[in-house]
Amino acid sequence: MALAQRTAGSASIEAGPEKVIEKTAALVPWLSEQAGRIEEARRIPADVAERLFETGVFDLMRPSRFGGYGASPQYAWEATFHVGRGCSSSAWLAGLTSANIIMLGKFSAEAQADVFADGVSPIVPMLTGGVGQDIVVEPVQDGIVLSGRWRYASGVDVADWLGILINIPDQGGAPAPHVLLVPQSEFTIDHQSWRVMGMRGTGSKNVALTKAFVPSHRFMSWAELQAGKKHPTCPNTEPVYDFPLNTANAMSVLAPTLGVASACSEEAIKIMRSRISSGNQQAQINDKIAQVDAGTSAANMSFLRDFLLSETASVERQIRASGTLSLEERGLSRTKVAIASRQALTSAQRLFASLGGSLLPEGTRIERLFRDIHAMSSHFLLQPEPISEAYGRLLLGLELAPGTRL
């Protein structure tokens, strides 16, 4: 077990999810101090994971019957935003894990009893982005025997379970995609595989399985998950488990991205206050363009954070009204999320340009934030062009391309 001291409901549930927001905001200065150490370790250290657990951020999406809040995703995104102001990698895990817990809350009662048990790490990497290689599936009684290799297992060092998307032959022999849950102890982790430009502290390492047995109660149909359905034995009734899967996934990567973009704004303004421009030897704080950039970036970050929370609330209202979202509604929400990410990146890039050579020295906070915001923004869920194309096809009455995730 990765973190045996972890117990369900580590935050005071009686205090409410608002207390989690306060705790994550209060943790920002400490996380900022640890960010360099986290990056150097190329993983989330155990003590950092424990501090994150103590805030209750991973209890927000956890089913109430397992000691969690079963709260609105708004709380998870706001808490993740705060974490991102302190540490990019910690925020990435907070955001991804929140969406992954929503997905896990749709699984069978038996599978949930495994992954939500006391003493089990709440961090469950979900490898669903076509990152598998050399996968071999052997159907056996009551399950399958599985071998293969996968990339990008974010947070695997502090996880006890992983989810993987693979094809399993149905009764007719045709491949049908399913998400499977496998204990981390069954995997071999390549600790040298995560050598990257940005987001170094996520520890998104390569993992491998060799003839691991996976019982069928830990399967969940990918088609049903995509359609917003739950396993027939799933007992969870909180509204969060009706939230559209792909919408939650996109928001879960936008939330840390916006937190890091906000940190870029805060750090750039801090640098501007004491910087002397090499061009005219004048204090940058007196430059009107710097003043415009500082004001615009801070307002942009506030605007984009408010957008994420209000868009989440809008999706929840639509679900309450009709039980689900249409393809067009999901396409619109996904497109807005991707555009918000691009706006955050553009705002950060303008600030970086205004800092000149102050951006270049290695080991500074602004240099690390520069690498991290570009790495985060490259995620496929945050690219406006592909999702805008899909939404545009719907608006124009055309069929969606095969494999489109809405």
Q: What are the pLDDT tens digits along the chain (406 aa)? A: 445 444 444 545 667 999 999 999 999 999 999 999 999 999 999 999 999 999 999 999 999 999 999 999 999 999 999 999 999 999 999 999 999 999 999 999 999 999 999 999 999 999 998 889 999 999 999 999 999 999 999 999 999 999 999 999 877 778 899 999 999 999 999 999 999 999 999 999 999 999 999 999 999 999 999 888 999 999 999 999 999 999 999 999 999 999 999 999 999 999 999 999 877 788 999 999 999 999 999 999 999 999 999 999 999 999 999 988 999 999 999 999 999 999 999 999 999 999 988 888 999 999 999 999 999 999 999 999 999 999 999 999 999 998 888 8
pLDDT at residue 277, as a whole number:
81
List helix spans (H) across 275-326. Answer: 288-322
Instruction: Give whole-number Cα distances, 31 to 35, 93, 114, in Å.
Output: 6, 14, 30
φ, ψ at 6 (rounded to 5°):
-70, 130
Ordered domains of the chain (ranges, CATH): 13-115 (1.10.540.10), 126-221 (2.40.110.10), 244-395 (1.20.140.10)
Q: Measured between alpha carbons, how far is 165 from 82 in angstroms, rounded to an integer?
A: 30
Contact between 77 and 340 under an 8 Å Cβ cutoff? The reply is no
Q: Which residues have CB under 8 Å from 88's CB, separation 6+? A: 35, 198, 199, 201, 256, 259, 260, 263, 368, 369, 372, 373, 376
Q: What is the C-alpha separation between 312 and 94, in angstroms, rounded?
A: 17
Going from the C-alpha of 114 to that of each of 34, 119, 209, 360, the distances in angstroms are: 32, 11, 19, 47
Q: Return the pLDDT at 2.
A: 46
- Model confidence, pTM: 0.94
* Residue of 67, 35, 74 lying closest to 51 (CA atoms): 35
Q: Count how many Cα atoms sit within 13 Å of the Cα of residue 396 in the half-sphere of its side chain.
A: 9
State how far the Cα of 84 lies from the Cα of 90, in Å rounded to an integer. 7
Q: In sequence order, what DSSP letters do the residues of 200-237 get, joined into one string?
A: GGG--EEEEEEEEEEEGGGEEEHHHHHTT---TT----
Nearest to 256 by CA among 316, 312, 304, 194: 304
Residue 295, C-beta contacts closer than 8 angstroms, at least 6 positions apart: none
- The span from the CA of 41 to the CA of 218, in Å, is 32
Asked if residue 366 lies in contact with residue 257, where contact means CB atoms within 8 angstroms, the answer is no
- ∠ CA(86), CA(87), CA(92), 5° rounding? 125
Q: What is the pLDDT of residue 12?
A: 54
Amino acid at 370: F
CA angle 47, 52, 58 (to 5 degrees): 135
